């Protein structure tokens, strides 16, 4: 069985392909033949040594993945051979509110992930894949799709007709755009590239803004919303965008913080920016298995096909990392394990 391994901080060049024997199957384990996996910003952070709480040994990277069950243990009840499954992000967070014990490990960071030909783990670590998705689309739900769903509908609590500001056109933002459109929300999208903004309109963006032409884009958001501001901002930029996101949010609105791809040092947020507008800041980290199952049902019901920017062959894993690092992608970067 072929598998990639990498040590935190080794850089993309440290990603190495290995052969290893198949793992033994425990009574509650399933053996999954991996078909496709996808990359996230956290995988670059792990490779670059900037992701927290990483081990000092190499492991199999990535968390997103789709595969088919080929063998089940004697006590398995949730799956059977032939079932199509996707991974969960936090194996110990099955349902309910977040707690330290539920998020103590995630695939591809503290334990082996999905960039391998075969994965053996507890049946609790998987959910059934949406029936209408192909293998590449299904491989994008466990991190980006789940985070977008949580931001909009769990942490965000949005209802049809609400407005949401999406920063950029990466995996989470495009997933959020597709979910928002299907749910009857009003998405506004920021990007530095007009070509990408035009693509977002085809996916349901109601308004778009090029932040190179409008560096004070929070003022443009206020203009587009008739001086009210948006109900929710899905904040992926971090320190570099957080202050503007708060200004673009309506009185009583919320900024859900899910990333920090813009960086920019320490963010200075005067308490008055929250108090005077009764605004809320909330951080989230993906979600539980139960939330992922809700997302899968919604995807099937609305026949949402995730946007895949490019598919790489299994032997081109380093090139896939480099493509993501170049930040030219629109949607998700996928690796075809079976191809």
| pLDDT of the chain, 339 residues: tens digit per residue | 999 999 999 999 999 999 999 999 999 999 999 999 999 999 999 999 999 999 999 999 999 999 999 999 999 999 999 999 999 999 999 999 999 999 999 999 999 999 999 999 999 999 999 999 999 999 999 999 999 999 999 999 999 999 999 999 989 999 999 999 999 999 999 999 999 999 999 999 999 999 999 999 999 999 999 999 999 999 997 777 898 999 999 999 999 999 765 454 556 677 777 887 899 999 999 999 999 999 999 999 999 999 999 999 999 999 999 999 998 899 999 999 987
Look up the pTM and report it: 0.94
Can you tell me the distance from the alpha carbon of 210 to that of 235, in angstroms, rounded to the nearest whole number? 17
- What is the reported pLDDT for 256? 96
- What is the reported pLDDT for 261? 57
Can you tell me the distance from the alpha carbon of 320 to that of 310, in angstroms, rounded to the nearest whole number? 9
How do beta strands 84-87 and 29-38 pair? unpaired
- Contact by Cβ (8 Å): 174, 152: no
- What is the reported pLDDT for 272? 74
- What is the reported pLDDT for 145? 97
- What is the reported pLDDT for 49? 95
As a whole number of Å, the CA-based R_g of the chain is: 20
- What is the reported pLDDT for 260? 61
Q: Give the list of residues 6+ apart from residue 198 with CB closer than 8 angstroms, or none.
A: 208
- What is the reported pLDDT for 237? 77
Distances 252 to 208, 275, 285, 338 between C-alpha atoms, Å: 23, 10, 22, 48
- What is the reported pLDDT for 126? 98
């Amino acid at each position: 069985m072929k598998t990639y391994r990498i040590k935190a901080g080794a850089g993309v060049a440290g990603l190495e392909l290995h052969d290893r024997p198949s793992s033994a199957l425990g009574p509650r384990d399933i053996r999954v033949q991996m078909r496709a996996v996808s990359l996230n910003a956290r995988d670059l952070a792990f490779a670059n040594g900037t992701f927290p709480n990483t081990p000092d040994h190499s492991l199999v990277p990535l968390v997103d993945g789709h595969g088919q069950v080929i063998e089940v243990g004697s006590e398995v009840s949730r799956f059977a051979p032939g079932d199509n499954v996707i991974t969960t992000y936090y194996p110990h967070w099955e349902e309910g509110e977040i707690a330290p014990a539920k998020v103590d490990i995630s695939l591809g960071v503290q334990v082996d992930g999905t960039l391998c030909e075969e994965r053996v783990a507890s049946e609790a670590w998987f959910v059934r894949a949406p029936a209408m998705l192909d293998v590449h689309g299904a491989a994008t739900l466990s991190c980006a799709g789940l985070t977008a769903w949580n931001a909009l509908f769990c942490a965000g609590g949005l209802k049809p007709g609400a407005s949401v500001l999406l920063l950029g056109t990466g995996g989470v933002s495009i997933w959020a755009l597709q979910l928002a459109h299907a749910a009857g929300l009003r998405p506004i999208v920021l990007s530095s590239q007009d070509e990408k903004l035009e693509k977002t309109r085809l996916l349901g963006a109601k308004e778009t803004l090029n932040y190179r032409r409008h560096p004070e884009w929070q003022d443009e958001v206020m203009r587009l919303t008739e001086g009210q501001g948006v109900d929710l901002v899905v904040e992926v930029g971090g320190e570099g965008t957080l202050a503007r996101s708060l200004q673009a949010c309506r009185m009583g609105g919320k900024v859900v913080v899910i990333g920090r791809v813009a960086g920019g040092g320490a963010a200075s947020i005067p308490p008055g920016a929250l108090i005077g507008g009764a605004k809320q800041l909330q951080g989230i980290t993906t979600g539980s298995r139960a939330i992922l199952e809700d997302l899968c049902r919604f995807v099937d019901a609305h026949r949402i096909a995730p946007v895949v920017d490019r598919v790489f062959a299994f032997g081109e894993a380093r090139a896939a990392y480099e493509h993501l690092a170049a930040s030219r992608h629109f949607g998700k970067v996928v690796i075809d394990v079976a191809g």
